[in-house]
Structures are given as structure tokens and as C-alpha cells.
Structure 1
Amino acid sequence: MTTQASLANATKADAPASPWPTFWIASIAVLLVSIDTTVLYAGFGALRQGFPGSSAADLSWVLNAYTVTYAAMLIPAGGLADVHGRKRIFLTGAAIFIIGSGACGAAGSVGFLIAARVMQAVGAALLTPASLSLILDAFPQNKRTVAVSLWGAVGGLAAAIGPSLGSFVIDRMGWPWAFYINLPIGAVSLAFGAVVLRESRIPGKVQRIDLVGMLLLVTSVAAAALALTQYESASWSREGIAALAIVAGVALVAFIAWASKASHPLVDLKLFHDRTYSAVNLATLSFAMAFAMMFFAFFSYMTSIWHYSLPLAGIAITPGPLLVVPTAIISGRYAARHGHRPGLVLGSLVYAASGLWLALVPGVTPAYWAHWFPALILSGIGVGMVLPSLSGAATARLPQNQYGVGSAVNQAIRQIGSVLGVAVTVVLIGHASLTRADFSQLYGMHVALALITGALCLAVNTRPKTQAA
């Protein structure tokens, strides 16, 4: 009996721990980060009231400073997680994000708020790729596709519910509480993460931060976003806008040239030798632009054209986000068996259909159930099929020593797409007096970007090797 008991205890001790506690702790932190990328779509009007001396183009940098910094920091953060420990970098990022959130809520000027948003973005960039690496390391190979799809679904749902959640919080308590709400949830994730998460790293690897590459990338994205947001500004001449566009293009070319020759580049261009990885990242860029444009436009349409209150607009958007997680679960299970391409292509077409509906059907008279609700259903299904699967397809064939960097590049490209989407939207509908016609061009671009996403995803091949053979 003693021997049997000893064997039973040994078997129990050797059994691998459940990966799900790691998944939920990592996902809670990513939930906060993803919410913060979109929560201010609902709060943009409140920010304009809170800082009446600032223009819409100036305030757009409360959103864009976060996403530009986040995009530039994600890639080295992925490498830091691989080298210095995924748990350590995750907890460090969570702590910085919480402090930055408190600073954002306490900001008394636009300049201070933008600086605090940069701090928030540094923390978010540290914890995001570390969270995915922790999940990939915790799950066995045959369950990673579903786990990554769920992780992506959490991020997609959070980004989708950010505006609706923000509308309630901001209307009831003011825009600072869009940031203060992060404090208790972030503290829970930090506390449980310190106890539950298991450390993992790549032994022997050395991480060198490519400051030149970071500077060139930030310069390119920031100059492009600034040129777009200031395109119709009276304080900028056409020559100045053209100069910004040239700076953006030159910095991008210089970034690619540097990355191809540097011994330790910010982005390892060899990743893009894989056709699937290249296609997925281009698709991520186009879809992220369309995603940002859709949410920014939604609140502008509801409050300016249909004259909904902010809380009512928040309720009105809810049905779409509620479909993201169940759709992502179904898509993830299908992708695990048959690859990501069918779901990505079909989801892009569904998302394009939602944009086409919004371009043609809603008018100036509110008719939510007949004119807007069908588009929300289509967009929720489309986002659930595409957004999580893009993350899954990007990491599907990565070797273990490139989990952090490879996933970080994909997430960075998504953030760059969001920056460009916000910038384009500010140009098209950022002025005070909006009409129904102002939205037609925007929804046309939404459709075009969704179709481009679908076309790019035709090159994705992540079928299981047994099926491919």
C-alpha cells in the first residue's frame, strides 16, 4: 500500500499543471491593454470638452501617442521577455501600466496626458508579448491554436467593448475614470501573476535593443499620422504636410535598409521570408485600419447624426462585441483542424458586408433595429473570425525561440494600422459639424480595406502538416 501510495503521489507530482490559470492571468492584463486602445473613441468628445483650447487633431495624439509608442516598443519587448524571463517582464509591464493609468487620470493638461499615455504604452508593450509567450509555453503543441485564438478573442472583445464600456464610465464619472478603472483590475492581475505564473526564458540568448531601428520606426509612423491628422489644419501649409509625408517615407526606407544590415535589428526581416507570415502581417495592417475607423465613426454617427446620448450609444454598440468571443472559439477550433485561411477570407467578406451596409442603409432618421443592428451582427461575426485568427496565423509556424519577437511584430503592425485608421478618420469626420455625407467615403474605405484583408489571406497556409501532406 505504501509503495502504491508513493507511486500515486509521484505520478501526481509529475503531472503537468493546468495551463488555464496562466491563460486567465495573462488575458486579464491584455484585456486592460486592449480596452485602453479603444476606450477613448467614446471619450473623444469628453476630452474636447475637458480641454476646450485643444483641436481635434491635437487630441488625436492622446490616442496616437499611445499606439505609436506601443507599436515601437512591442518588438524589443518581445525579445526582452524571451531573454530576461517572460514572467518578470510581464509583471514589470503590468506595474508600469498601472502607474501610467493613474497618471493619465490625474492629468491636468493635454501635454501631461500624452506623456502619461506614453508611459502606459511602455507598460502595455512589455506585458503583451510576454503574456502570449507565457500562454504558448504553458500549453502543449496540439492545443496552442485554440489557446491563441482565445487569447486573441479576449483582446478583440476588449478592444470592441472598450468604447461601450468607456461611454458609461465617462458619462457617469468623467473621462479620468476611463483610466482609474484599470487600477484595481491591474492590481489583481499583478498579485496573482506573481504567485501563479511560472518563469520561462531562452537560456543563452542575449537581447540588444536596436535604438536606431526604434527611432526610425517611430519617426516614420508618427510623421505619417501627423501628416494625415493635420491635412486640413489651417496651421499647416501644404508644403509642411508634404515634408512630413516625405519624412515618413524616407524613415521607412531607412528602417528597412537598417534592418537588413544591422547585426541585431529591431525587426528580423528573415521572419518575412515566410509567405504566410508576410501575408498575415499585411492583412493585420489593413484590418486594423478598418477596425479603428469603424469604432471611431460609430460614436460620431450616433451622437452627431442620430443625436444619441453617450450611454445610449454605448448600449447600441453592445450586440456586435458580444459575438466576438463565441465566433472566435468556433473559428479557433476549425483553424486547429483545417488551418486559418478559410475563416480569415470568409470573415473579411462578412466584415466588408457590414461596411457596405453602413454605407448604404442608415440615414439621418434613427432606425436602430432595421438600419444599424444588422451591421453590428455582421461586424461582430467578422471581427470574431478575423482578429483573433490573425494573431493565431502569425504565430502558428514560429519556432519556440521566436514566439516573443514574432508575435510582437504582428501586434506592432496592428497598432500601426490603428494609428493610421484613427488619423484617416480624424481627417474625414474630425470636424465639429458632421453630415450624413461625411461618412460615405469613410465606409467606402472600410469596405475596401476589408476586401484587401481577404485577398491577402488567400496566401495564408497554416493547415496541419498531416492534412498538407
Structure 2
Amino acid sequence: MTGPADDSGPARPAAGADPPADAPGPAARAGTSAPPTSTVVEYRSARGRWVLVATVLGSAIAFIDATVVTIALPRIADELDATTADLQWTVNGYALTLAAFLLLGGSLGDRFGRRRVFLVGVVWFAVASLACALAPTVGLLVAARALQGVGGALLTPGSLAIIQSTFAGEDRGRAIGAWSGLGGIAGAIAPFLGGWIVEVTSWRWVFGINLPIAAVVVVVALKAVPETLDPGAVRRLDVAGTALAALGLAALTWAFTAWTEDGALRPTVAAVLAAGVLALVAFVLVESRAAAPLVPPRLFRWRPFAGTNAATLVVYAALSGVFFFLVVTLQVVSGYSPLAAGLAPVPVTLLLLLLSSTSGALGVRLGPRLPMTVGPLVCAGATVLLAGIGPSAPYLTDVLPGVLLFGLGLAAVVAPLTTTALASAPDHLAGVASGVNNAVARVAGLLGIAVLPLVAGVGSAGLTDPGTLADAHRVAMLVCAGLLAVGGAVSWFTVPSSADAVRPPADRHEV
């Protein structure tokens, strides 16, 4: 590829694109299961490849940054004289604002243009990265990290919403599968890249490297990505809904983070956790009465949308718990080096890269119910195998079989789940659907890391005590296996067997 090729000339949003699904009269039934023809891009075309480059690199900088920063923490502590709490908030400040504003990012894209908001997020993220790289004190670093999270919240749902509104049919499934697989590769490369940067240069370049990547994304997106939006969306923002969603998600993020750090539910943490739950309850009530809601409540009345996000919650909570305990247990209990433990799950990433695109296409062709049911069940079986890891566990016999089986199950479910989460909302709400699903996955990850160690009986020193962790690992893996099985069952009972039946009624020309 030599440059972002434009196969079909300048693409413009169709004037007759999908109206809001609850609009009165025949217009409410004017939706379509494909994007407007003037914005459709073929997956195998040069332009389709460049759309993938822009969306994958854009979402990757947000994901990679969250990973490589952890590697740089010791150097940051030495240079900026940071305390343990400072380092924790260097990581968590980003997660807090990212989770808090994901819903807003998706909604803004639908209202003002998905490419436009995606590009604003990329530029915002790059500027905040520069502020991180130049930060003279740890306080300014934490503040810049929080700004990075806002940029990540603008670009993350936008990357998937662009794919949803640019590709159609089986091409859409393939594109989402490729996005998942290539994102997995970025996740696998991140620890090596971060370690190399910190080792040979300075921790500041962990943030500085985002600038040239962001520049490539901006150039490619401007030349190759068509602009799409919901022409029927009200331009004014749902201020009350936005504030309540941000407050609720931020409070939950802070409370679960503090709970994990303390190992106990202090009264302050419990109060913030309760405030977060109450804010989200108030958000639901406000949205049900808002004229232009941030998240239209009618989406959750459609069983495939509600069921897919419920499956996302339990499956991603289990995934975060499995990878967390696997890497820690291999080091503390089995005696692996940090590098060897970090490499142990790499086959999962490779299987995602090899199989996700095919899995996404098969999910469209055969229907999402089967892969979304079988995939989590296969992962559950693999997790039971991984529960047997103990002292001096040989990789080839005690670890690799479970990791390979887990990778096969994950490759089966990730792309169809993501495709269904987007397809079960009207196309003009692709940004909202992506924002909801991303927010659910983020909260699920926090739940997995925060609650699972407590349920497994890790205790305050359990993560460094081989005897305690060996027992806790077994319990944690069995709990994760149960969650994965629940995810498969939820998918079986809520997700249609046909890809066409996933579409909400207005997109299938029904009332």
C-alpha cells in the first residue's frame, strides 16, 4: 500500500440516511441494514484497507498507551520522585476519564460526524500525550493522563462506529474481525515496545511515540474514511444525561480501583460506590424522559441489544480475571520469569489474528447465536484446564493446552459479539451502540480485577504468597469458567440465530 486510495471518489453522507427509529409515521420505518450506498466501502478494496488502518491505529494508540505506561512506572517514580499512590493514579487517572466519557464520545459521533469526532479524539489524545511527555511533576503527569482518557473516550467508540457505518453485510463482519485481530496484535506488541523504549531512551518517549502514529491516523482518515452521521439527531446535548453517566461511571471506576488497592471495602469507598450506582439509576430515569437522550432507552427494549451487552458484561469480566490471575500465578506460584509469564498468553493473540476475520464473516453468514454460545463455553472449558496450574507447572503440558483452547473460543466469540452489539442498534445510532458496548466492557474489566481477588480469598498479601495464591487461583479460574458459561447461556437465549433477525424492527422495515 502506497497511500490511502480513494476507489469511489469523495464519499458523502446520503441525504436520506436513517431517521431516528422512534420518529412518527413512515419515516420511522425508513431504516436499512446497510449504510447509505454513497458511504459503502468494500472490504477488499484499497480504500477499505486504509479505513482499517485508520481505525485500528486510532484505537490502538489508546489501548497500547494504557499497557506500556505500567512498564515505565519505576522510571517515572525515580525521575519525578513519585509515591505509590502517585503511580497508581498515573494509571487510574486515564481509566477514570475514559470510562466516564465513552457514552458521550459515541453520542457525539452520531450527532456531529463519526469521522470528525474520531479525529478530534486522535488529535486530543496526541496533544495530551505531548503534555504527558513534557510533564515536570507527577501532579501534571496525572492531570495530562486524565486528559488522555477524554481523548480516548472520543476516539474509541468512533473507530468501531466508522466500521459499522462504512462496511455492509459480510464485509462488515470481516472488518470487525480484522479490527479485533489486529488490535490483539497491538496488545501483544505493546509490552515489548514499551520495554524497549524505556530501556534505550526515556519513559517520556512512551508518550511521545503517540504523536507520529496520531499524525498517520489523521492523514489516512482525512483521505480515505467517509463521513457519516445521523441526520435526524438533535444537535443539542443531553447535559443531564451526560453529567449523570460521567459521574456514575467515574464513581464506579474510582471505587473499584480503590477497593482493589486497599483490599477492603472502606466506608468512603462504599459511599462512592453507592453514589455511582445511584447516579446510573438516575441516568436511566432521566434518559427515559429526555427529548434527545444520550442513550435512547428503547435500545434496551430490543432483546438482542440488551442480551449482547449482558453477555459482554459477564464474558469480559471473566476475560480480565483469567489473564490477570494467569500471569500473576505463573510468576508467584510456578516460578516463571516476568517475561516468560508475559509470553504465556501470546498464542491467544495469534489465534485472534488468524481467525477473527473469518469468525466475523461466519457470524454474519451463519448467524451470531452459535459462535456467541459455543465460544464462551469453549473458553470456560479452557479456564477449567488453567485452574490446575500449580508449582513448577511445565508450559507445554500444563499451560499451553488451556491457552490454545482459550484462544480458539475467544476467536469464535469476539468478532460476532462486537458485530452483534453494533448491528442490534439502528445504523444511525452506531456511535451510541459502540459507546455502550465499550463502556460495558470497561466496567466488566474493572469488576473482574476488583471483585475477583476478593471472592477468591487472595487477602492483602495473597498476590505475593505462593501458598495463598495457588488456592485463590483455582477458585478464581472456576468462577471465571462459571461466568463464561453464563455468557454462553445468555447469548443462546437472547441472540437470534439469524444475522438479519439481529436488526431492530425499524431497520427491518417493521413497526
Confirm or deny: 8 A CA contact 1:74 1:412 kept in the other structure.
yes
The aligned runs of 1:376-415 (5 Å cut-off) are 376-415=403-442
| Distance in 1 (alpha carbons) for counterparts of 2:263 and 2:452 | 19
Q: Which residue of 2 aligns with 1:210?
A: 238
Q: Which residue of 1 aligns with 2:324?
A: 296
The question of 1:21 aligning with 2:55 is answered no
Alpha carbons of 1:434 and 1:314: their partners in 2 closer, same or farther (altered >3 Å)?
A: same
Confirm or deny: 8 A CA contact 2:76 2:82 kept in the other structure.
no
| Distance in 1 (alpha carbons) for counterparts of 2:57 and 2:244 | 32
Q: CA deviation at 1:460?
A: 0.8
Matching residue's letter, 1:136: Q
Larger deviation, residues 109-118 vs 12-21: 12-21
The question of 1:262 aligning with 2:296 is answered no
The aligned runs of 1:64-463 (5 Å cut-off) are 64-107=92-135, 110-159=138-187, 162-163=190-191, 165-166=193-194, 169-170=197-198, 175-231=203-259, 238-360=266-388, 362-424=389-451, 428=458, 431=461, 433-435=464-466, 436-437=469-470, 438-458=472-492, 459-461=494-496, 463=498
Larger deviation, residues 75-84 vs 277-286: 75-84
- Taking structure 1 as the reference length, the TM-score comes to 0.84
Larger deviation, residues 258-267 vs 406-415: 258-267
Task: State the SS of the aligned residue for 2:230.
Answer: coil
Cα offsets for 1:7-53 (capped at 9, x unmatched): xxxx9879986433222222221222233344456667777777886
Alpha carbons of 1:285 and 1:247: their partners in 2 closer, same or farther (altered >3 Å)?
A: same
Identity of aligned residues (%): 32
Matching residue's letter, 1:352: A
Task: Specify which of 30, 39, 51 is matched with residue 59 of structure 2.
Answer: 30
| Distance in 2 (alpha carbons) for counterparts of 1:156 and 1:205 | 34
| Distance in 2 (alpha carbons) for counterparts of 1:60 and 1:441 | 27
Alpha carbons of 1:298 and 1:44: their partners in 2 closer, same or farther (altered >3 Å)?
A: farther
| Distance in 2 (alpha carbons) for counterparts of 1:237 and 1:284 | 26
Alpha carbons of 1:141 and 1:334: their partners in 2 closer, same or farther (altered >3 Å)?
A: closer
Matching residue's letter, 1:461: P
Alpha carbons of 1:104 and 1:318: their partners in 2 closer, same or farther (altered >3 Å)?
A: farther
| Distance in 1 (alpha carbons) for counterparts of 2:501 and 2:262 | 60
Matching residue's letter, 1:188: V
- Taking structure 2 as the reference length, the TM-score comes to 0.78
Task: State the SS of the aligned residue for 2:237.
Answer: coil
Larger deviation, residues 421-430 vs 454-463: 421-430
| Distance in 1 (alpha carbons) for counterparts of 2:381 and 2:201 | 36
| Distance in 2 (alpha carbons) for counterparts of 1:177 and 1:50 | 14
| Distance in 1 (alpha carbons) for counterparts of 2:449 and 2:400 | 24
Matching residue's letter, 1:460: V
Confirm or deny: 8 A CA contact 2:347 2:403 kept in the other structure.
yes
Confirm or deny: 8 A CA contact 2:372 2:412 kept in the other structure.
yes
| Distance in 2 (alpha carbons) for counterparts of 1:137 and 1:246 | 37
| Distance in 1 (alpha carbons) for counterparts of 2:276 and 2:421 | 26
Q: CA deviation at 1:167?
A: 5.1
Alpha carbons of 1:293 and 1:261: their partners in 2 closer, same or farther (altered >3 Å)?
A: same
Larger deviation, residues 278-287 vs 104-113: 104-113
| Distance in 1 (alpha carbons) for counterparts of 2:99 and 2:387 | 30
5+ residue gaps, structure 1:
1-10
Larger deviation, residues 277-286 vs 201-210: 201-210
Confirm or deny: 8 A CA contact 1:67 1:418 kept in the other structure.
no
Confirm or deny: 8 A CA contact 2:304 2:495 kept in the other structure.
yes
Please, what is the CA RMSD of the aligned residues?
3.5
| Distance in 2 (alpha carbons) for counterparts of 1:206 and 1:451 | 41
Matching residue's letter, 1:454: G
Alpha carbons of 1:92 and 1:229: their partners in 2 closer, same or farther (altered >3 Å)?
A: closer
| Distance in 1 (alpha carbons) for counterparts of 2:72 and 2:475 | 23
| Distance in 2 (alpha carbons) for counterparts of 1:379 and 1:367 | 18
Alpha carbons of 1:327 and 1:63: their partners in 2 closer, same or farther (altered >3 Å)?
A: farther
Larger deviation, residues 364-373 vs 336-345: 364-373
Alpha carbons of 1:98 and 1:453: their partners in 2 closer, same or farther (altered >3 Å)?
A: same
| Distance in 1 (alpha carbons) for counterparts of 2:325 and 2:76 | 16
Q: CA deviation at 1:384?
A: 1.8
Q: Which residue of 1 aligns with 2:19?
A: none
Confirm or deny: 8 A CA contact 1:42 1:164 kept in the other structure.
no
5+ residue gaps, structure 2:
1-6, 11-37
Cα offsets for 1:234-287 (capped at 9, x unmatched): 798743343233223322322222222222332211111110110111111122
